[in-house]
Structure 1
């Protein structure tokens, strides 16, 4: 299952699409899985991801959610693990448990700051950034733990992924981050959402340079896409989310549509989202689709 995913990822001619899922503040993840199944979109994607308490808000466990998705759809899942909530002992313990239940694609994140959590006085761990988790995965794949102690029963192969911003005022900042993630072993680097093909092309150029610098030719850039159908969403992303660039033409188009009513606003937003989705598919068909669990939007793009 995972070998097939990585082969599709590393083959420049094949389409590769993963769909992000966000576990809820609930004791069960199955309602999210049921929604995905009811929409019939799994045949159009190659795998999923599960988020790990994004914005430091308490949610259902990402590893168990990944296991449940895999069992239902028989497609691989990238289970997100953040450095915010675990020290190196807990990270490795969770990786061992995940390995035993065949959750073996890991998306390494540093994590949002604990100070914005919905849990009173929550404290972040942050022993390091996400590159430590990538290094731990590298050790596991060599049959040892992070302290160099050999496992009696060795873990099955783990497939490491990482994330990156999609925009920076100084592109060299992105180049440094790409290079760092590749040097620490990331097979795929998922970007924050892109909203124009010029942004995507710039990222692809920087990533190729990072591959040359790092010597890691097997790494692949995966372009994040986030369909936006509301003016307020576009404005929020543009104003409050670092590492994303929402073009002025999107804001202007959604503003004009908003004045005509909600249906026109959604129609215009979906048209803009479909435009960038199709442009990326043509240029670099390696996509990570994020919808904040609005899976009907994913269906509209994947099966129009």
Structure 2
């Protein structure tokens, strides 16, 4: 079967879901579905046969996640070749003697760019390993599907060795017609064609109606493929149930064809019944090669309009030659707020430019920093700088929080990966970690461009000033600098460090990071006692109190220790302001008197 030639003259029906169908038929959700090609081949072959009998003329191998990265989650990363070859063999048996193409399914690796870099994973090599097995087993097509970003698709396309196999490149894309990066899907198609893809299109993510809306924004003429889900699932009794009936799905397939789709199948939730209905619906249709394209909505680059007083950027203050003093005052752990606001008033009076608010630091429950930040802004006209942890919210929740900040006129944010929940006061709570701090920085930068992480336009751009953290106390400072470089490349605009207790380290830090040319706010913590110093050094991640400092503190009583802590903090501030345009003062356990004294000292220099 010459699929490319046939698509020039008629529509072709693809197959439907494999994974959701296996789960629906009783395979446990924690099984490696690709491994079933080896351990339960009859089950996989019979599904292929059902789709062929339903009218599918392109069937995909059960290899979506058969790459070393995804298989490693099941301890199967050394079986890439075996599983892929077995999968192709099963599909070819189902297609034997019929005009049916066997497509080698290839999905994303399931790790982000940042995770791949941190783990030293060569993503191109992971793809090459899977391609080698699929091509050795003699597939007719290489079928990329459910790619969310162009970067990974490009890596995969460039990793394919020369062969006679046609290449299909499908993205998971919202109906607005943009990828997560904001790239128009039509532009991604053009670049895929330049790298050898013959068929382009979209799959997953959308139900039938949304897929039609997406294809309305795509020009006809290319060989386009559409593989929507069977609607949007609901979670019932431990399983996902997809609502779309086969006849409704088939009607939508005809509408996709009217918008230029030529290869039409199904993704999550579809079954042989859906494919049988689609095959019947496409029989009398011919390819649409030109049509009117519906214009995509263009995002506004105008910052969010708010009724609140405009918040001056700390970066603008620095650019105008001003010294910036940031003071940390963590939200309280209880609803007894008056002492907290008394401390905030004292910091404002001492000349603090911004109050930074932790996000349940050390995984210990505190009052919402968004609520406290809004109250500080209203009561004292002070800039709140909110920490935002990846621990407690998924990507949806993180973006919702950020849009809430923007609506309240808050601009300054410090993305953090966050301490795991198990170390805090709710050890049974789940840690989310959909993304890490570097990825969250990228998401915020994209919001500033007017797009959500899913590529949807916001109809206005946020105007966040994005910070990041840096630990100069780390034993491997080179690794910390490299991570900081990645954060800056992702969009970080200023840096806040862990507390420093070594004057010489301030100069060394400047030497190591000055090439980044962004403001560094050195963390300064006024030590209160030898006991506190020992606690910070031994129990708080990322903090090192030098032996000499702890020994010196141990020689003082209560007031003497506090006085020594202030003197050391003043030395750190003096050194920091010799190199950097501001300083970050950390309030120890709501004892703000020391912080106000240091803020005044910083202002006096």
Q: TM-score, normalised by structure 1?
A: 0.89
Map 1:1-304 → 2, pairs under 5 A: 2-10=311-319, 13-27=321-335, 29-37=337-345, 39=346, 41-152=348-459, 154-209=460-515, 211=516, 217=517, 219-257=518-556, 261-292=557-588, 293-303=590-600
Answer yes or no: is the 8 Å Cα contact 1:28–1:60 preserved in 2.
Answer: no
Answer yes or no: is the 8 Å Cα contact 1:63–1:103 preserved in 2.
Answer: no
- Distance in 2 (CA, whole Å) between partners of 1:294 and 1:140 is 36
Answer yes or no: is the 8 Å Cα contact 2:325–2:584 preserved in 1.
Answer: yes
Deviations 1:265-298 (A, max 9, x none): 2222222222222332333242111013211011
- Specify the SS of the correspondent of 1:108: strand
Shift of 1:199: 0.8
- Distance in 2 (CA, whole Å) between partners of 1:117 and 1:170 is 26
Partner of 1:214: none
Deviations 1:236-277 (A, max 9, x none): 2222334333222211211111xxx32222222222222222
Partner of 2:29: none
Answer yes or no: is the 8 Å Cα contact 1:18–1:47 preserved in 2.
Answer: yes
Answer yes or no: is the 8 Å Cα contact 1:41–1:302 preserved in 2.
Answer: no
Answer yes or no: is the 8 Å Cα contact 1:131–1:184 preserved in 2.
Answer: yes
Answer yes or no: is the 8 Å Cα contact 1:167–1:174 preserved in 2.
Answer: no
- Distance in 1 (CA, whole Å) between partners of 2:552 and 2:542 is 22
Of 195-204 and 123-132, the range deviating more from structure 2 = 195-204
- Distance in 2 (CA, whole Å) between partners of 1:120 and 1:252 is 34
Of 177-186 and 41-50, the range deviating more from structure 2 = 41-50
Of 194-203 and 267-276, the range deviating more from structure 2 = 267-276
Q: Tell me how large the CA RMSD over aligned residues is.
A: 1.9
For this pair of structures, how many residues does the alignment match?
291
Bigger Rg over Cα: 2
Answer yes or no: is the 8 Å Cα contact 2:327–2:347 preserved in 1.
Answer: no
**Residue 24 and residue 46 in structure 1: after superposition, are their counterparts in 2 closer, same or farther (change >3 A)?**
same
Answer yes or no: is the 8 Å Cα contact 2:325–2:354 preserved in 1.
Answer: yes
- Distance in 1 (CA, whole Å) between partners of 2:591 and 2:461 is 35
- Distance in 1 (CA, whole Å) between partners of 2:400 and 2:410 is 13
Shift of 1:137: 0.9
- Distance in 2 (CA, whole Å) between partners of 1:31 and 1:150 is 42
Shift of 1:149: 0.8
- Specify the SS of the correspondent of 1:303: helix
Q: TM-score, normalised by structure 2?
A: 0.46
**Residue 34 and residue 7 in structure 1: after superposition, are their counterparts in 2 closer, same or farther (change >3 A)?**
same
Answer yes or no: is the 8 Å Cα contact 2:347–2:595 preserved in 1.
Answer: no
**Residue 80 and residue 270 in structure 1: after superposition, are their counterparts in 2 closer, same or farther (change >3 A)?**
same
Shift of 1:41: 4.5
- Distance in 1 (CA, whole Å) between partners of 2:583 and 2:336 is 28
- Specify the SS of the correspondent of 1:17: strand
Which stretches of structure 1, 4 residues or longer, exceed 4 Å deviation after superposition?
none
- Distance in 2 (CA, whole Å) between partners of 1:151 and 1:300 is 43
Shift of 1:7: 1.6
Answer yes or no: is the 8 Å Cα contact 1:237–1:244 preserved in 2.
Answer: yes
- Distance in 1 (CA, whole Å) between partners of 2:393 and 2:496 is 22
- Distance in 2 (CA, whole Å) between partners of 1:230 and 1:43 is 24
Specify every segment of 5 or more residues in structure 2 that has no aligned partner in the other structure, as ranges.
1-309
**Residue 9 and residue 245 in structure 1: after superposition, are their counterparts in 2 closer, same or farther (change >3 A)?**
farther
Of structures 1 and 2, the one scoring higher in RCO (CA 8 A, sep 6+) is 1
- Distance in 1 (CA, whole Å) between partners of 2:347 and 2:470 is 30
